[in-house]
Chains A and B, each alone.
Chain A
Amino acid sequence: MLASGVPMEEEELQKAVVAYLRKKGFAKTEIALQEEQQNRLSSSSHPDLPLSRLENDPARYSGGYSKLRSWAYSSLDLYKHELLRVLYSVYIHCFMDLVAEGHMRDARTFFQTFREDHELTHLRDLQKLEGILSPSHLEEMELARSLRQNKVKIKICQYAYDLLLQYLQKTQSLTILGIINERINFEVSPGQPISISDDMEVVALVGSNHDQAKQINQKEVRWGLLEDSVEDRLERANSDSEKAEAENKELDPEDTKKRSVDGGKQAAPVKKPKKDKLVGATGKNVRSETSTAPVAPRVKPDLTLPIMPMEVEKAILEDLRNRVQLSSSALPSICFYTFINAHNGLNCSAISHDGSLVAGGFSDSSLKVWDMSKIGQSAKPGENDSIPSEHFLGTEGEGPYTLFHGHSGPIYSATFSPLGDFLLSSSSDSTIRLWSTNLNANLVCYKGHNYPVWDVQFSPVGHYFASSSHDRTARIWSMDRIQPLRIMAGHLSDVDCVQWHANCNYVATGSSDKTVRLWDVQSGECVRIFIGHRSTVLSLAMSPDGRFMASGDEDGTIMMWDLSSGRCISPLMGHSSCVWTLAFSREGSLLASGAADCTVKLWDVTTSMKGQKIEESKPSSINRLRLLKALPTKSTPVYTLQFSRRNLLFAAGALSKC
């Protein structure tokens, strides 16, 4: 932190401003001027404010901070929480500056003295920062680095901002003023302070650059469903037959006309994004149209999709016809698969889409697959309680499961292809393996990641799959190539979970950097950054209509995101521990969540979506999603949830004796 010529100028400027303000009080114009000054100062490429650094006394930090702290705590209640937010930023930067200047002992005492104030909201960050003990650690630790490189943006209301400036000038606490200038970008808003519940960003103020995130979130996301999907065809077939029944043959020409109009409507949103893309304009997009349209828009797939065999399609159509309509008053039946005698070794589980196959990945690098349809009739476990136990007693000599050996490290994730004929597993040996459940053999080993692969997910149409790893990347693969098709880099820490969008054009990833990102599969670019979680994101789910995404974190918070706006609709509080898994019901009205607190919770999502439509006119109103039911298990953490096509919910978990 050297004093050069340019900062000296700045210093004079600063002094002039201070003097000016002191003379004039705090009339609006002065404030505006001051604000501009502030912004100019802070956005200048010289972060150093030498006037505060001339004296190299470590005590000035703690002195200045404790003064600011006592002032902030005794300030007006209405503005206190905004000031406290500033206080936290000042606190961590004071600490890091102390470390950077080499006052290790003072830094430690300073940190410990005021730690309690911020533990409630920022415990995890504090735990990380606590480990910083030498200037070199500041460079090494990703959190500290990003904190020091990026400016924190804090929304603050006009009056609180005035109060803060007044205080800083009155007390001449130049150290603190320097830190605030250097590290914080104020976004002053006129009027009343923002309510506490609204300021989600405060939590994630660290780690990623907000401007960048904002810029990225400007990009367009075509969240519509794939055109000509099986569901689509069923709907069309139904409406056609209805029409045919309802109308006479006389009206035939009109009917066809109507249909052609329908077709035209449907085609329009498809064409538009294409055109947009060609032109490269980001302006008016589908969103404005779709928010009013009752049905989700259709989009063309960016990937070449595998062709579905006829008989499979028939089976799916049959399932769709027999689907149970779920709502807040019609809750699903839940079939629970309990892993017993897992000896704490079960790391992950997977359930095929029809619930007939259950896979378990173990820490001893084995992968076991149970065919539940062979063990009695899995669809009706209630009637066959006694039969499975007979099977397990093992009179046939061989286990009731198929054992897949091949990995050389704990298995962290497994996923079934939509048709249940393939199984993918990812392991700490940094490979992904493809297994055939028909041949009971390993087909391919995909090597590409350099570190443990935390998660792997088949796309909704099969053939493609996505993986996420400790190496901070997510990758897109196709089954027929051993090299990844796309590598998505951008997360600042491990990518812990990955999930496909319903239309296969996007992939969402959740990370230890507490953000969720949405990536375009075709271009490999990040199109959304969702900031708001307070801890590692562990699970993701996409709504079937493609509009919403749910993410669950380590603290038990679940967040619902609107993909098009990139905003959090509302946090779902209820779980007390890690949310391992999330699943939307097939028609999208319910969200099921499974957590380490041994419960399955069902949430009503329809209210939020309706609310969302109203909300668009009034964005500040918060409507909480409703918890419909909490179903406790018998000391069994819930690892996996899967809705079958007929809307039967399958859940799996390992019985843990505690």
Chain B
Amino acid sequence: MSIVPKETIAVIAQSIGIANLSSDVALALAPDVEYRLREIMQEAIKCMRHSKRTVLTAEDVNSALSLRNVEPIYGFASGDPLRFKRAVGHKDLFYIDDRDVDFKEVIDAPLPKAPLDTAVVAHWLAIEGVQPAIPENAPVEAIVAPSENKKSENSKEDGLLVDLKLPVKHVLSRELQLYFDKITELTVTRPESILCKEALVSLAVDSGIHPLVPYFSYFIADEVARSLNDLPILFALMRVVRSLLQNPHIHIEPYLHQLMPSIITCVVAKRLGSKITDNHWELRDFSANLAASVCKRYGHVYHNLQSRLTKTLINAFLDPSKALTQHYGAIQGLAALGTSVVRLLVLPNLEPYLQLLHPEMQLEKQKNEMKRKEAWRVYGALLRAAGKCLYDRLKLFPGLLSPPRHPGWRINGRVATSHSNKRMSSTNLSSQQPPFKKVAADGPTGAMQPIAMTANLQGAPDGFPTRSSGKGGSVAPKGSAVLAQAWKEDLDAGRLLASLFQLFGEGVFSFIQPVEMSFFI
């Protein structure tokens, strides 16, 4: 009936030398032991409360014991938490892991560092009832909340507004200075270290670093300009930017104008890194995504942000004098901004651009191995961007291609696809011809031509400046016209696919789900 079983009493009796304790005695003793235990715990809780703690420690129990004039139990009052081990073979039985300590080892060991001495630091928890956002204070839920408060306050008391606007000298606490120095040093000297990764995490979550944001944005702008040929540093800097953007406690909008050029530099710079082996493509992808995320988050606040970004990118994309690496960055940047941007800006220019690109991709025309590789990269990026756009369209308008689904038909389609695929890939590899020419000669797409034609006819009255240059042969104008109209919302995905297929070959098919594809082929 007591929670202390009589066996426990017997065991304790044995351990203090009473071998034959009768079970009656144990049974009678057990309830009292439980009562005493509870009594001691009650006193221990009092001691805990008066030590202004909410966690009971071994020390409190000892204090309670001494309150009752009982010798404290020694050996448990050390600072580190007790380690319990599970007894082998028992589920709920634990014992304290009491290691033997070799005195010689203890004596020989170097003295541990003295613990830091207690100190008192002062800060403002509130100024006239408003909590200042300083690192010493607990993080406010988000940066938006206090600004709203301020607004409402200002509207109430106009006198306060004037006080707030007074120019104040920006004073950084010593801790913040140290923090800034440490982080900047880390990013510049050891960008790949684990410590740097932790620093990035800290940047992303720490609530008190808001005063440092102007310093960081200046540092990033400065350092990007300086170390264009040091890829790891650039990468680390971009990661710093990402962390700053992630931090919910930072009010970064006012500094975006300083950060954006650096990010765009990392997207479309001519040369990033010094060695050929440097994987600057990855950096471009990363930065492109970064730029896109900035647009997504702050686009509604700064209306010209996205337009300026796209203008910069499209300029880089359409300028033939720019290097292929720059083109690549521009395409990635545009692609990251979303499929609508691709549809609006890339697809209309796709065909003439590819015409320029193809010579670069061919072994016979471009002897420089490096250049050719770059060209293929650009081609890949274009294919991905266009394909994604297509995929998106297909998902958006599934009604456009809802055929009366017939299982037999579908199987046939499948077979046909695989068949043509084989054929095409073989031809593709053997003769390094521009794909669209091949496509023009190809059987399956020939069936699509009438549709493309009608599209062309419809498009002409609209007066859209078609970019059909006539260089690409008989089919090309139709394809380009479709592409030029790609910005139209109601464009049939089927036509888009057809024209893309003309340009890229069956590489496009990887962006279409098999079921839907079966309908096309």
User: What is the interface of chain A, defined by CB distance below 8 A to chain B?
Assistant: 104-105, 108, 128, 130-134, 137, 330-348, 358, 360, 362-363, 368, 370, 372, 375, 378, 381-383, 385-386, 388-390, 392, 394, 399-401, 410, 412, 428, 451-452, 454, 470, 494, 496, 512, 536, 538, 554, 577-578, 580, 596, 598, 600, 602, 628-629, 631-635, 637, 639, 651-652, 654
The 8 closest A-B pairs by CB, nearest first: A331-B129, A133-B31, A381-B122, A386-B174, A131-B38, A385-B173, A336-B125, A334-B125
From 101 to 149 in chain B, residues with beta carbon under 8 angstroms from any chain A beta carbon are: 115-132, 134, 136-138
Establish whether residues B117 and A341, one from each chain, have CB atoms under 8 Å apart when the complex forms: yes
- Closest A residue to B136 by CB, please name it: A634
Does B92 touch A at the CB level, under 8 Å?
no
Is the beta-carbon distance between A388 and B138 smaller than 8 angstroms?
A: no
Q: Does B270 interact with chain A (Cβ within 8 Å)? A: no
| B54 contacts the other chain (CB 8 A) | yes
Asked whether A333 lies within 8 Å of B31 as measured between CB atoms, the reply is no
Contact in complex: A629, B129 (CB < 8 Å): yes
| Least CB distance, B170 to chain A, in whole angstroms | 12
B124 to chain A: closest CB distance in Å? 5
Give min CB distance, A362 to chain B, whole Å: 8
Jot down 16 A-B pairs with beta carbons below 8 A, ordered by A.
A104-B31, A332-B126, A335-B124, A336-B125, A338-B123, A341-B117, A344-B57, A362-B118, A388-B119, A389-B174, A389-B175, A400-B119, A401-B118, A410-B51, A596-B54, A602-B129
Chain B, residue nearest A392 (CB)? B119
- 0/1 per residue, B4-32, Cβ < 8 Å to A? 00000000000000000000000000011
Chain A-chain B contacts (Cβ-Cβ < 8 Å), number: 186
**Which residues of B lie under 8 Å from residue A412 when comparing CB positions?**
50-51
Contact pick for A578, options B1, B47, B49, B57, CB 8 Å: B49
Bound: A330/B177 CA distance, A = 34
Most buried by A among B31, B35, B53, B129: B129
By secondary structure, the A interface counts as mixed
Question: Are A378 and B122 in contact (CB-based, < 8 A)?
Answer: yes
Q: Distance in Å from the Cβ of A113 to the closest Cβ of chain B?
A: 14
Q: Find out whether the CB atom of A336 lies under 8 angstroms from the CB atom of B123.
A: yes
Contact partners of A428 in chain B: CB under 8 A: 47, 63
Determine the residue in chain B with the shortest Cβ distance to A358.
Answer: B120
Q: Which of B35, B116, B171, B177 contacts A137 (CB 8 A)?
A: B35
List residues of chain B with CB within 8 A of the CB of A347.
Answer: 50-52
Report how far A11 CA is from B214 CA in the complex, Å. 89
B31 to chain A, nearest CB (A): 3
Residue in A closest to B137 when the chains form the complex, CB atoms = A634
Interface residue? B67 (CB, 8 A): yes
Residue of B nearest to A385 (CB): B173
Assess A132 versus B42: contact at CB under 8 Å? Given A335-B122, A372-B120, A578-B49. no
Distance A388 CA – B123 CA, assembled complex (angstroms): 11
Residues of B contacting A382 in the complex (Cβ-Cβ under 8 angstroms): 123-124, 132, 134
B35 touches A134 (CB 8 A): yes
Report the Cα distance A474→B137, complex, angstroms: 38
B288-332 CB contact bits vs A (8 Å, 1 = yes)? 000000000000000000000000000000000000000000000
How far is B52's CA from A652's CA once the two chains are assembled, in angstroms?
12
B39 within 8 A of A: yes
Compute how far the CA of A554 lies from the CA of B48 in the bound complex, rounded to whole angstroms: 12
In whole angstroms, what is the CA distance A388 to B124 when docked? 14
Query: Of residues B50, B79, B177, which shows the largest number of chain A Cβ atoms within 10 Å of its Cβ?
Result: B50
Q: Across the interface, do A372 and B122 meet the contact criterion of CB distance under 8 Å?
A: yes
Decide yes or no: A596 and B52 within 8 Å by CB, A133-B35, A428-B63, A452-B67 being known contacts.
yes
Pick from B32, B38, B79: contact of A343, CB below 8 A: B79
C-alpha gap A348/B49 in the complex (Å): 11
A133 close to B32 (CB less than 8 A)? yes
- Contact of A536 with B49 at beta-carbon distance under 8 Å, contacts A131-B39, A390-B174, A577-B54 already known: yes
Inter-chain contacts of A633 with B (CB < 8 A): 125, 137-138
Q: A410-B51, A454-B50, A631-B131 given; name 11 further pairs at CB < 8 Å.
A: A108-B1, A345-B118, A347-B51, A358-B120, A386-B175, A401-B119, A452-B63, A496-B49, A536-B49, A596-B54, A639-B52
Residues of A within 8 A of B437 (CB): none
A474 to B: closest C-beta gap in Å: 15
Interface members, chain B 41-79 (any A CB < 8 Å): 42, 46-47, 49-54, 57, 59, 63, 67, 79
A337 touches B126 (CB 8 A): no
**Given the known A-B contacts A104-B31, A332-B128, A390-B174, are A634 and B138 also in contact in the complex, defined by CB atoms under 8 Å?**
yes
Question: B34 within 8 Å of A by Cβ?
Answer: yes
Residues A363 and B50 in contact, CB atoms below 8 Å apart:
no
B171 partner residues in chain A, CB cutoff 8 A: 383, 385
B2 located at the interface, meaning its Cβ lies under 8 Å from any Cβ of chain A in the complex: yes
- When each residue 224-268 of chain B gets 1 if its CB lies under 8 Å from chain A and 0 otherwise, what string results? 000000000000000000000000000000000000000000000
Considering the chains assembled together, what is the distance between the CA atoms of A629 and B173 in angstroms?
A: 27
Across the interface, which residues of A come within 8 angstroms of B117, CB to CB?
A: 341, 392, 394, 399
Residues of A within 8 A of B59 (CB): 363
Q: Which residues of chain B come closer than 8 Å to A343, judged between CB atoms?
A: 79, 115, 118
Using Cβ atoms and an 8 Å threshold, which residues of chain A touch B116?
340-341
Which residues of chain B have C-beta atoms less than 8 A from A340's C-beta?
Answer: 116, 118-121
Given known pairs A410-B51, A602-B129, the reply for A339 and B119 (CB within 8 Å) is yes
B211 to chain A, nearest CB (A): 11
- In the bound assembly, the distance between CA atoms of A337 and B125 in angstroms comes to 9
Q: Which residue of A lies closest to B34 (CB)?
A: A133
A420 nearest CB across to chain B (Å):
16
Contact of A334 among B42, B49, B124, B175 (CB under 8 A): B124
- A389–B121 touching, CB < 8 Å: yes
Let me know if B125 and A651 touch, CB within 8 A.
Answer: yes
Q: How far is the CB of A389 from chain B (nearest CB, A)?
A: 5
Given contacts A340-B118, A400-B119, contact A637 B125 (CB under 8 A): no
How far in angstroms is the closest Cβ of chain A from B61? 14
Alpha-carbon separation in the docked complex, A613 to B191 (Å):
69
> How many Å lie between the Cα of A635 and that of B136 in the bound state?
10
B127→A128 contact, CB < 8 A: no
Return chain B residues, CB-CB under 8 Å to A336: 122-125, 136
Residues of B within 8 A of A378 (CB): 122
The residue in chain A whose Cβ has the minimal distance to the Cβ of B43 is A470
CB distance from A110 to the nearest CB of B (A): 12
Closest CB in chain A relative to B63 CB, distance in Å: 6
Task: Name the one of B34, B47, B115, B118 contacting A131, with C-beta atoms under 8 angstroms.
Answer: B34
* Contact A341–B119 (Cβ < 8 Å): yes
| Residue of A108, A375, A388, A496 touching B50 (CB-CB under 8 A) | A496
Chain A residues contacting B138 (CB-CB under 8 Å) are: 598, 632-635
Are A580 and B125 in contact (CB-based, < 8 A)? no
- Chain B residues with Cβ below 8 Å from A335 are 122-125
Chain A proximity of B97: nearest CB distance (Å): 22
| In the bound complex, CA of A130 to CA of B42 (Å) | 12
Closest chain B CB from A410 CB (angstroms): 7
Contact B32 A134 (CB under 8 A): yes
Which of B35, B59, B67, B137 has the most C-beta atoms of chain A within 10 angstroms of its own C-beta?
A: B35
* Cβ–Cβ < 8 Å partners of A370 in chain B: 120
Please tell me if the beta carbons of B128 and A330 are within 8 angstroms of each other in the complex.
yes
Closest partner residue, chain A, to B116 (CB atom): A341
CA distance A375 to B120 in the complex (A): 10
In the complex, A536 Cα to B123 Cα: how many Å? 32
Chain B 397-444 interface residues, beta-carbon cutoff 8 Å to A: none
CB distance from B202 to the nearest CB of A (A): 15
Residue of A nearest to B51 (CB): A347
**Complex partner residue of A600 from B42, B47, B125, CB under 8 angstroms:** B125
Smallest CB gap from B177: residue in A: A386
**Residues of chain B within 8 A of A634, CB atoms compared:** 136-138
Tell whether A385 pairs with B125 under 8 Å between CB atoms, given A105-B1, A347-B52, A538-B49.
Answer: no
- Nearest residue, chain A, Cβ from B124: A382
A347 to B137, CA, bound (A): 22
Q: What is the CB-to-nearest-CB distance from A415 to chain B, in angstroms, rounded to a whole number?
A: 15
Contact assessment for A338 and B49 in the assembled complex, using a CB-CB cutoff below 8 Å:
no
Chain A residue with Cβ nearest B140: A632
- Whether A580 pairs with B35 at a CB distance below 8 angstroms is no
